[in-house]
Structure 1
Amino acid sequence: MNTTLDRRQLLRGAALAGSTGALATWMPAWAQPISAGIVKPLPTVSGEEITLRIGRTPVTIDGRTLRAVGVNGTVPAPLIRLREGQNVRLHVVNELGEESSIHWHGLILPFHMDGVPGVSFPGIPAHSTFTYEFPIVQAGTYWYHSHSGFQEQEGLYGPIVIDPKGTDPAQADREHVIVLSDHSPLLGSKIFSKLKKQSGYFNRQRQTLGGLLAGRDQPPAERLMWGKMRMDPTDVSDVTGSTYTYLVNGHGPKDNWTGLFRPGERVRLRIVNASAMTTFNVRIPGLPMTVVQADGLNVRPVEVGEFQFGPAETYDVVVIPPEERAYTLVGESVDRSGMARMTLAPREGMAAAVPPLRKRPVATMKDMGMGGHDMSTMDHGSMPGMDHAAMGHGAGDAPAGQGSSASGAMSGHDMGSMNMRDFSVAPGVKKGPGVQTISPMPVDRTGEPGQGLEDVGHRVLTYRDLIALDRNPDVRAPSRELEIHLTGNMERYMWSLDGEKLSEVKAPIPFLTGERVRVTLVNDTMMGHPIHLHGHFFELVTGHGAHSPRKHTVLVQPGGKVSWDVTANEGDWAFHCHMLYHMAAGMMQVVQVRSAKGGAA
C-alpha cells in the first residue's frame, strides 16, 4: 500500500487524500482506522419473489465481535431493490425463538401488509413464515425494520431503493446507499431498563464547575435558573456515544467504509437514518451536497453544507467531487458524543482527516417552549423549589443520581409571565405524572437548522428549504384541524401523546377515509421527536402551497411545533415517535381510518 501523502496537499493544511496509516495521527483516537478501508457494497436482493430470513448473527464492528439480529446473515439487512409498478412477494422467515415482524417504512400499501404486531397484523411467530405481498406504487429511497421488541436496535433494519418507471430527475453517474445507525453491546431491553431507572444514565456530558469557570457552559445566572428547576440543559440525547458505536452500513468509524468515485462524476448518496435513537448531523467537509429527495420523494435541488435528520428520515443528495482526493462523510450525533464516519475516494485505501467532535449543544429557553424568551429578563426569585407532590409522587420517588435530570412538576411555577404547568393552553392533554411541562410559547421551528446548528458557519438545510418537485396529488384545504401534544416526564422516563401512553389509550384517533386533516404537533418536551405516521405522506405547512414538501416522518424540535395536512388512507395505522425507547415507553397511538359508511379496508 502506498504510504506517502501528497506533499502539496499536506502543505495546504487540508485533510486530503493519502494512506490511512499516514492520516491516523490526524484523527481522534476513536476514529483512527484499523483497516485500509472497506469497499464493500451492501448485499442486494430484488425481483418479484424475495426471501428474507431473520436470525441471530455475530457482527464485527471496529474489530470487536458483537451479537446482533440480522437478515440473511447481515447487518444491515440486504438492500431490497425494486421498480415502481411491479408487484412483490416477500417471504419473511422468522428463525428467532421469539415473535418478529417487518415494517416497510414509507411504503404505501394495504394496511394489513404494514407489519405492526397488534395493529395491522398478528406478528410472525417464532420459527414460522409470513408472506407480505403488495404492489409498488412509488419510487425513491426507503427502509425496513422490525416493529417487535427491541430487534430494530439489535440490527434488524435495511434499505429499500425503488427505481422509477420513467426518467429519474436526479440523474447521477453512480450512487451509494448509506445506512446510518447506532449499535450497543447492551441488549435493547437492558438499555431501556437503565433509562427507566435513571433517565440520565448515558449522559456523560453534564455541566461541570470546571466548564463553568472556563466559560464553556451556561452563564451563572442561567445555570442557577436551570438548577432551581432541577432540569438538565445537556439532556439532549437519551442514549449516547457512551454505549453506542455509530455505524455506516454496519461498520464503525475505525472500519472506514469507503464509497468510490471518479473526479467530476455526479454521485448520488441515498442516506437513511436507521438508528434506534440518534439524530444525526450530516456533512462532508470541503464538498457541498445538493439535496434532491426527502423521504423518498423528489424535491427541487437545494445546495447545503449540512443537514440534520432524525431516526427514520431519509435524504438523497448529489455531490460532485472535483479532485482526486478523499473526503470524509460525517454523521455526528446531535449531542456530539460520537459520530458515524465513512470515506468517499477515487480508489481503495485512501482516507481524509476526520474533523473533531464539535461542542455539545446546551438547551435554551426556546427548547423549553419559551419562544426564545431571554432568561436574563425573568424574575429569578419567582422560581421556588419543585412541587413534586403535584405530579403524584414525592421527591423520594426519583432514583438516586437523578438530581441533575429534568424532574418533577413545575406546578404553577411562573418563569416571568410564563407558566410551564398551564394546562389551559393544552386542554386536550391529560394531567398526570407523565406530563412534566406544557410549552407556554411553542413556535414553528421549520425554518431553523436544528438543535446545535445555529452558528456553524455554513448553510444548513431546513424544512422550509424543501419544495416538492411535482405538484401535490391532493391540494384541497383541510376540513378540520387536530392538535396533538408530544408529552413526557424526562426524569421518570415516561413518554406519551396528549399525556396518555399507548397502554392507557381507550380509543384510536379517528379519521374518515379520504378526508383532509390539518395536524399540528406541539412538542412540550425539551427533546426532539421524529414523528411517523404509517401508510401516509403528509404535506408540511411551510408556505409552499401545492408544492409543499411531502414526508412520512418529521422531526419536531424541542419546544417547537409543526403543522401538516394529510389525506387519510383507510385502515389501522401506527402513529408514533421513532425514538425506539420513546415508543416503547408509550409515545404511540393508532390512527383508525374508516369510510363514512363504516367497515375497514
Structure 2
Amino acid sequence: MPPTPSAPEAAGLTMARRDLLRVAGATGLWTGLAGLVPAYAQSPAVGAPALASAGGRSIDLAIEAMAFQVDGRLGSAIAMNRTVPGPLIRLREGEDAVLRVTNRLEETSSIHWHGLILPPDMDGVPGVSFAGIRPGETFVYRFPVRQSGTYWCHSHSGGQELLGLYAPLIIDPAGPEPFRYGRDHVVMLSDWSFERPEQLVAHLKKLPSYYNYQQRTVGEFFRDARRDGLAAAVGNRLAWGRMRMDPTDISDLTGATYRFLMNGLAAADNWTGLFRPGEAVRLRLIAAGAMTVFDVRIPGLKMTVVQADGQNVRPVEVDELRIGAGETYDVIVRPGNRAYTLFAETSDRSGYARGTLAPRPGMSAPIPPRRPRPLRTMADMGMEMGGMAMGGAAMGTGAMADAPAAAAGAGGHGGMAMPGTGGGAVPGPGLPGSPPVAHGPDTHGVGNSSVAMVARSRLDEPGTGLGGDGWRVLTYADLRSVEPQPDRREPGRAVELHVTGNMERYMWSFDGRKYSEAPAPIRFRYGERLRLVLVNDTMMEHPIHLHGMWMELENGGGPRQPRKHTVLVKPGERLTVAITADAPGRWAMHCHLLLHMEMGMFRVVEVS
C-alpha cells in the first residue's frame, strides 16, 4: 500500500513543515484573524445556527491557512471557512448530504466525517479509500444520511487536525427523540500549541517525558516512605525503574505546551452559553483534542447522559464524565437562576478548558481548583493477579510464557485457534467482573516495551484519577442503548489486537508493528458477526476509532449494549466489541491520539 497522509511515517506532518505564518502573510490571509469564531462559539451563545443541507442543497466548505489568536498571542492555523473550529454543519437523517470542499492550501487535504456510516470513497481518508483533495481542487462528498445525533469532522491528512481543521456536525433525526430539551449548545473541546507539529514530535522522540513537568520528586519519596515505610517506597521506585517507565506519564502533550479550548476560546475568554432558568439545556460535548482526554463536570449541576457517540442511551445521571479524543456525549442539564462553570479538566491535571452557563451575559462562576495529578499503578500495567502485584516482571521479555495463553486472534497471541482459522472456541466478551486473562508468549518485539501480563475488564472503572471525590462518574458499564441492536447473533470468530508502544523511542503500534511494517489489511468477511478483542499493553489510555462500521460495546447490556465509533481503552484493559461487517470496502482503524496514529498506531480493515 502506498504511503498516505493519514498514516504514520507515510505522510509525516507535511503542512507542519512549512511556516504557516509565512504562508498566511504571503497570501493575504492575515485579514479576518481567528478571534472570528463561528456563530455557535460566540460568547454569549444563545443557540446553534448552522450550515444546513436540505432537499439536495449543497454546503460549501473551504480549507485555508490563517493566523490564529489564543490568549492574546498569534499563532498559525488551518481553518475551515476561516474559523477555528469550523462552522456547525447540520444534516438530516433520511436525506442525501452534498458537501463541496475546496482546498486552498499548497498541499493535499481531506475531510473525514467522524462516526458517519457512508460509502468508503466518501469517508475522507487519503490513501485508503480516496486520493485526497489536491491544492486548488474541489471535492464533492455525496452520501445518504442514515443516522442521527452529534458527530464532528476533521482532516485526516498529516498534522492538519492538530492545526485547527475540525468542526461539529449535527444530524437531526427523522422522528422524535426520546428526551426533551429547550435549548441546544455545542461544546467542542480541543487543544492548541504554538509549537509546530514536527517540533512536538522531535521533542518526544528525543525525550518522551519532555512535556511532563509533574514527575515525582525527592520530597514525594520521603512522604511515601513515612506513609508506607521505607522498604515499600524504595521497592516501588525500583519496580518502575526496572520497567524504565514513569507513573506520572499520563499524557504525552500537557499544559506545558498546550492551551485548552472550548469552542475555540481559551479559559480567560470564558465562552458563555445562555439559558432561561429552569429550562432543560442540551450540551453536545465533542472531544476534538488531538492529544487530550478531558474530565468534564459542572459543579453544582447534575448531567444526564442521553447520547454516546451520537446514539441514544438510557438516561444516566452523573456528576462527571471522561471523554476521550474522538468521542461525543450529549447531556441534559437543568440549571437554576445563576451561573455555572463548565469545567473540562485534562486527565493529567496540567490544564483545563472552561466556559460558563448563565441566564444573562457577563456572568461567571468560581473555577474549581485543579486536582492533584494522578499516578499510574501496577494494576494499570497489567501486573496484578489475584490482588498481588508482580513487581517488574513484565518487560516484554517473555516472562510468564507458561501462563495460560490469552485467546488467540489475528496476531496469534495465545494458544487458542479461532473459528475460521482452524477451529476452537471464541473467547468470551470482556464483561465487568470477568476473570483476568493472562498474556500469551508473544511480546511483540522491539515495537513494544512492556506487556500487560494479565489484562482484565475495566468497564466499570471510571479511569485513573477519577472516582475518589465522592461523586458519581460515568463508566462504560452504565451505558445501555435505548433500542435493542438489530443483529443479535453471537460472534462467530474473534480478532485480537494488542495496543502496543515503545515510549523510549516514541513508537506506537498494533501488535508491535507500526503501520509501515504491518502485514496485509485485517480482513472481515462481509456479513459476518465477529468479536474484536482489544488488549492494551501500554500504560496509557488509547481511544480506538473504527471507520465505516459500529462497534457494539460488550458491557453486559445484552441486546441493548451501546454502539460506539470510538472506545477509550484503559491501561492493562481487555475490552471487547461486537461488529457486524456490513460495509464492503477498505476502512481505517487507529488510535485517535493524533501523534500515536502518525507514529504507527494505524491499520486498514478490509471487508470483502
Report the secondary structure of 1:130's partner residue.
Answer: strand
C-alpha separation in 1, matches of 2:190 and 2:93 = 27
State the Cα distance separating 1:60 from its structure 2 match.
2.1
**Structure 1 contact 229–410 (Cα < 8 Å) conserved:** no
C-alpha separation in 2, matches of 1:64 and 1:573 = 39
Where do 1:9-408 residues align within 5 Å?
38-40=43-45, 44-47=50-53, 48-215=57-224, 219-322=233-336, 324-371=337-384
Partner deviation per Cα, 1:275-298 (whole Å, 9 max, x = no partner): 101011000011000000000000
Q: Give the match for residue 524 of structure 2.
A: 511
State the Cα distance separating 1:513 from its structure 2 match.
1.0
The aligned amino acid for 2:554 is: V
C-alpha separation in 1, matches of 2:456 and 2:370 = 29
State the Cα distance separating 1:258 from its structure 2 match.
0.3
C-alpha separation in 2, matches of 1:360 and 1:56 = 36
Q: Give the match for residue 548 of structure 1.
A: 561
**Structure 1 contact 418–440 (Cα < 8 Å) conserved:** no
The aligned amino acid for 1:116 is: V
The aligned amino acid for 1:464 is: A
What stretches of structure 1 of length at least 5 have no aligned partner? 1-36, 387-408, 595-601
State the Cα distance separating 1:214 from its structure 2 match.
4.0
**Structure 1 contact 531–556 (Cα < 8 Å) conserved:** yes
Are 1:494 and 2:491 an aligned pair? no
Q: Give the match for residue 523 of structure 1.
A: 536
Partner deviation per Cα, 1:407-440 (whole Å, 9 max, x = no partner): xx5535679x9999x9766569573211111111
C-alpha separation in 1, matches of 2:413 and 2:94 = 49
The aligned amino acid for 1:309 is: I
C-alpha separation in 2, matches of 1:281 and 1:264 = 25
C-alpha separation in 1, matches of 2:400 and 2:247 = 18
**Structure 1 contact 371–442 (Cα < 8 Å) conserved:** no
State the Cα distance separating 1:444 from its structure 2 match.
0.5
State the Cα distance separating 1:200 from its structure 2 match.
1.1
C-alpha separation in 2, matches of 1:346 and 1:336 = 29
State the Cα distance separating 1:265 from its structure 2 match.
0.5
Q: 1:428 to 1:547 in 2, by over 3 A?
A: farther
Partner deviation per Cα, 1:359-391 (whole Å, 9 max, x = no partner): 11100011101246667x65x6x87xx9xxxxx
Q: Give the match for residue 474 of structure 2.
A: 461
Q: 1:429 to 1:348 in 2, by over 3 A?
A: farther
Aligned CA RMSD, in angstroms, stands at: 2.3
State the Cα distance separating 1:491 from its structure 2 match.
1.1
C-alpha separation in 2, matches of 1:299 and 1:354 = 30
C-alpha separation in 2, matches of 1:535 and 1:183 = 28
Where do 1:401-440 residues align within 5 Å?
409-411=395-397, 431-440=444-453
TM-score normalised according to structure 2 size: 0.83
C-alpha separation in 1, matches of 2:237 and 2:357 = 42
C-alpha separation in 2, matches of 1:43 and 1:66 = 27
C-alpha separation in 1, matches of 2:171 and 2:164 = 22
Report the secondary structure of 1:367's partner residue.
Answer: coil
Instruction: Indicate the percent of aligned positions where both proteins have the same amino acid.
Output: 53
The aligned amino acid for 2:378 is: M
Indicate which of 533, 548, 561 corresponds to 1:535: 548
Q: Give the match for residue 12 of structure 1.
A: none
Partner deviation per Cα, 1:456-492 (whole Å, 9 max, x = no partner): 2100000010000011121111111111100111111
TM-score normalised according to structure 1 size: 0.84
**Structure 1 contact 42–249 (Cα < 8 Å) conserved:** no
What stretches of structure 2 of length at least 5 have no aligned partner? 1-41, 407-411, 415-437
Report the secondary structure of 2:447's partner residue.
Answer: coil
Indicate which of 486, 491, 495 corresponds to 1:478: 491
State the Cα distance separating 1:168 from its structure 2 match.
1.6
Count of aligned residue pairs for this structure pair: 528
C-alpha separation in 2, matches of 1:114 and 1:170 = 30
Report the secondary structure of 2:568's partner residue.
Answer: strand
Q: 1:428 to 1:440 in 2, by over 3 A?
A: closer
C-alpha separation in 2, matches of 1:444 and 1:467 = 17
**Structure 1 contact 62–252 (Cα < 8 Å) conserved:** yes
State the Cα distance separating 1:53 from its structure 2 match.
0.2
Report the secondary structure of 2:519's partner residue.
Answer: coil
State the Cα distance separating 1:263 from its structure 2 match.
1.2
C-alpha separation in 2, matches of 1:237 and 1:280 = 11
